[in-house]
């Protein structure tokens, strides 16, 4: 085969259309370079079997195992045939099942004692782990040709197991890699020679050969060390260049003014700020006083007082003659922020109004669903400078919105904006405004260095006085139905004691049967196919659960619903009544996940809790225990006791430390998910690096990257690094970096 001269060669040329199509659609692999960077997930030693006892449920796996026995069973009065094969490895057993016409070939080939690689999705049936209709490749084939082919495909002792999919198993991917492996010689090496030699790294072509076809375990270590560095370094250079470019932009310095709005606000605070709030405020004030734009990430546990810190920064900017805008991801949250900020500020939020303070300013709300008159007034207040503070959703970015002098943008909940939105906002200021990004999702240091690598980080880790502890428990609804009945009794008890409760469901549930996903994506709830696992029912829905509770377990209590497809006025009305104590139980989707503050709500029941991520559960739980009474969070799940989903829930129940949970979350989601698998560019930028294990690599790569960029911002003397960066930062990846 001719050696392909470029990593950009489409896979179709080498592998044929059908294979290339599956790789593109299911694995996001399009070019020779993509496939060479599709590294094995792990390696099996020939003759050594996979530990079957700890296979993850619901995941597509590849295992090497031995057949213990195989038998054909009849069902449907002899009309249906099922082949059951039991695999063993010494640690445990795994059942394979084949139906219908698919039983003949495996029945002939999978004889007791045979060894093979099997690939399929792990499920539980009758409390036994099984793979239904797995694909397999015999490793000790009796047919000489087949045996040679199997052995040739994996010449070394170490069998590479690739991240695979239902349509393409690991060993077929291995064959495709063989076809493109000669191109590894053309790899463009991004590391500067001095760095490569100084750290004693294997050359890149050799690292690629070793990672795909290792002869020894040392080969794997060598290759991984090198490839991890490449990923960390290239990403950190991209982020360092972004930070460098930002320091070159001009911004108006916004310095605190004595006896201004901030001092008046501080004087009327009924409590003192925590040490953490004081420290973080100082970091922010120092940034605001410089003549290039602040880019800071403010991390703080739910309820650690981030809004207070952000508000004080906004008041400083207003004192200095500028305006501040706060962007929230949803209308519910924008309204909530507007309400709490105007309450905190009191007469200071009524600048220019009768009874308002002469030192005050106007605080306006701007959302997409506002009435025309209110909207027109808000826009007028912004353009004249009458309103010093505006709180809104993405509606703030529209062309019509003009500011008098935009000085600070506060972005709530990590919905960082793409290049276009950031530019759109920047263009609204006379000069680029300062930027503060807030998140209540605790982010381990390494993730902060990668996902938010272009922002400086501040952390609020103390809870303000007066916050109560939250007790969390897992309620196994399937194994112990009486536990669920007890959960509803507990909700009733809380209400009888004068408190309120939330019930959270993953889905809204109406005729459209759509799930209200993260970021507002709507996913059709899938009906389980008859042969599929009967446990795969659609997630529980707000409207159905609310109905059941009103008629059953919580009859007689005031039960209301809240979800993203309600009219904004209705949402606001429900939230107001809940906050006022007129509603006992609020059944909601994750719209209540951030920013909703009702100190009298003490209990939360999360239905189908295993359908939410660890961070999301932690966020939701933070809605209770916000007053003086202790909080209670019940995680209801039908997940199997031994499943990873249940392990995740137990971890959430066991600790209230968000940073600890974010580590657990990362460990469980390993496969690069942490950077948002759905986001474009992730598959291509982080494949070897695991953000949880490689803290030292990331930190060291960041230091090297900062030095390289400081010495040569345009990378004029490092053409290879420029080439690799250009490939990483094509349009999609550039947006991914910006959106975080």
Instruction: Give the separation between CA 456 and CA 452, rounded to whole angstroms.
Output: 8
**What is the spatial distance between Cα 74 and Cα 153, in angstroms, rounded to a whole number?**
37
Q: Round to whole Å and give the CA distance between 83 and 70.
A: 7
Closest to 394 (Cα-Cα) out of 443, 446, 334: 334
Return the SS3 of 68: strand
Q: How far is CA 442 from CA 300, 556, 672, 679, in A?
A: 7, 39, 17, 20
**pLDDT at residue 94 in the model:** 87
Q: Which pLDDT does position 8 carry in this prediction?
A: 80
At residue 5, the pLDDT reads 45
**pLDDT at position 670, please?**
44
Q: How many residues does the chain have?
A: 740
Q: Which long-range contacts (CB under 8 A, 24 or more apart) does 545-549 make?
A: 545/503, 545/505, 545/587, 545/607, 546/503, 546/587, 549/488, 549/503, 549/585, 549/587
CA–CA distance, 621 with 634 (Å, rounded to integer): 9
Nearest to residue 684, comparing CAs of 234, 237, 222, 62? 234
Residue numbers in the chain where pLDDT is lower than 50? 1-5, 144, 147, 150-151, 155, 415, 511-535, 670-684, 731-732, 736, 739-740
pTM given for the model: 0.63
């Amino acid at each position: 085969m001719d050696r392909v001269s470029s990593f950009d060669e489409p896979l179709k040329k080498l592998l044929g259309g059908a294979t290339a199509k599956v790789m593109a659609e299911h694995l996001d692999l399009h070019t020779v370079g993509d496939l060479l960077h599709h590294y094995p997930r792990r390696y099996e030693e020939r003759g050594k079997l996979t530990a079957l006892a700890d296979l993850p449920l619901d995941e597509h796996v590849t295992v090497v195992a031995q057949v213990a026995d195989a038998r054909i069973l009849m069902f449907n009065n002899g009309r249906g045939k099922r082949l059951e094969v039991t695999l063993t490895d010494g640690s445990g057993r795994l059942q394979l099942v084949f139906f219908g016409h698919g039983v003949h070939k495996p029945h002939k080939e999978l004889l007791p004692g045979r060894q093979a690689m099997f690939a399929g999705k792990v499920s539980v049936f009758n409390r036994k782990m099984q793979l239904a209709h797995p694909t397999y490749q015999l490793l000790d084939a009796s047919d000489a040709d087949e045996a040679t082919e199997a052995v040739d495909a994996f010449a070394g002792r170490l069998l590479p197991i690739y991240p695979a999919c239902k349509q393409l198993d690991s060993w077929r991917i291995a064959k495709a890699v063989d076809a493109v492996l000669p191109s590894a010689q053309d790899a463009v090496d991004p590391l500067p020679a001095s760095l490569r030699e100084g750290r004693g790294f294997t050359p890149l072509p050799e690292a690629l050969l070793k990672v795909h076809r290792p002869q020894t375990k040392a080969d794997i270590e060598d290759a991984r060390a090198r490839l991890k560095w490449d990923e960390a370094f290239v990403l950190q250079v991209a982020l360092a260049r972004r930070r460098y470019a930002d320091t070159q932009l001009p911004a108006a310095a916004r310095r605190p003014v004595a006896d201004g709005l901030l001092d008046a606000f501080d004087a009327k605070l009924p409590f003192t700020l925590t040490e953490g709030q004081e420290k973080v405020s100082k970091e922010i004030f120092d940034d605001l006083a410089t003549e290039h734009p602040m880019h800071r990430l403010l991390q703080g546990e739910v309820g650690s007082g981030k809004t207070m810190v952000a508000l004080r920064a906004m008041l400083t900017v207003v004192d200095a003659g500028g305006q501040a805008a706060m962007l929230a991801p949803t209308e519910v949250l924008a309204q909530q922020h507007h309400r709490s900020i105007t309450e905190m500020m009191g007469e200071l939020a009524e600048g220019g109004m009768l009874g308002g303070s002469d030192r005050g300013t106007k605080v306006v709300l701007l959302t997409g669903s506002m009435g025309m008159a209110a909207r027109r007034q808000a826009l007028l207040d912004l353009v004249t400078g009458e309103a010093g503070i505006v709180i809104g959703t993405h509606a703030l970015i529209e062309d019509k919105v003009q500011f008098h002098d935009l000085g600070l943008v506060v972005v709530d909940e990590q919905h960082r904006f793409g290049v276009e939105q950031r530019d759109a906002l920047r263009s609204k200021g006379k000069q680029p405004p300062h930027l503060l990004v807030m998140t209540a999702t605790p982010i381990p240091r390494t993730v902060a260095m990668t996902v938010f690598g272009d922002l400086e980080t501040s952390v609020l880790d103390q809870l303000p006085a007066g916050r109560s502890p939250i007790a969390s428990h897992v309620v196994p609804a399937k194994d112990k139905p009486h536990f669920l009945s007890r959960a509803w009794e507990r909700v009733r008890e809380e209400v009888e004691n004068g408190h309120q409760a939330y019930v959270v469901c993953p889905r809204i549930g109406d005729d459209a049967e759509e799930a209200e996903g993260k970021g507002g994506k709507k996913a059709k709830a899938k009906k389980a196919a008859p042969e599929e696992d009967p446990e795969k029912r659609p997630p529980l829905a707000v409207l159905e659960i609310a109905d059941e509770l009103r008629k059953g377990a919580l009859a007689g209590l005031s039960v209301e619903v809240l979800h993203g497809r309600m009219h904004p006025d209705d949402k606001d009305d429900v939230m107001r009544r809940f906050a006022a104590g007129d509603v006992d139980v609020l059944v909601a989707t994750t719209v209540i996940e951030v920013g909703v503050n009702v100190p009298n709500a003490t209990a939360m029941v999360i239905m189908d809790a295993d359908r939410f991520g660890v961070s999301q559960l932690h966020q939701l739980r933070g809605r209770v225990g916000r007053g003086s009474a202790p909080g209670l969070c019940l995680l209801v799940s039908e997940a199997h006791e031994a499943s990873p989903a249940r392990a995740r829930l137990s971890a959430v129940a066991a600790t209230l430390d968000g940073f600890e949970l974010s580590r657990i979350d990362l460990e469980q989601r390993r496969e690069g998910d942490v950077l948002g698998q759905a986001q474009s560019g992730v598959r291509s930028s982080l494949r070897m690096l695991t953000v949880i294990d490689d803290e030292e690599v990331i930190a060291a790569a960041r230091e090297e990257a900062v030095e390289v960029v400081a010495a040569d911002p345009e990378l004029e003397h490092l053409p290879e690094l420029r080439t690799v960066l250009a490939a990483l930062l094509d349009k999609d990846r550039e947006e991914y970096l910006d959106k975080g």
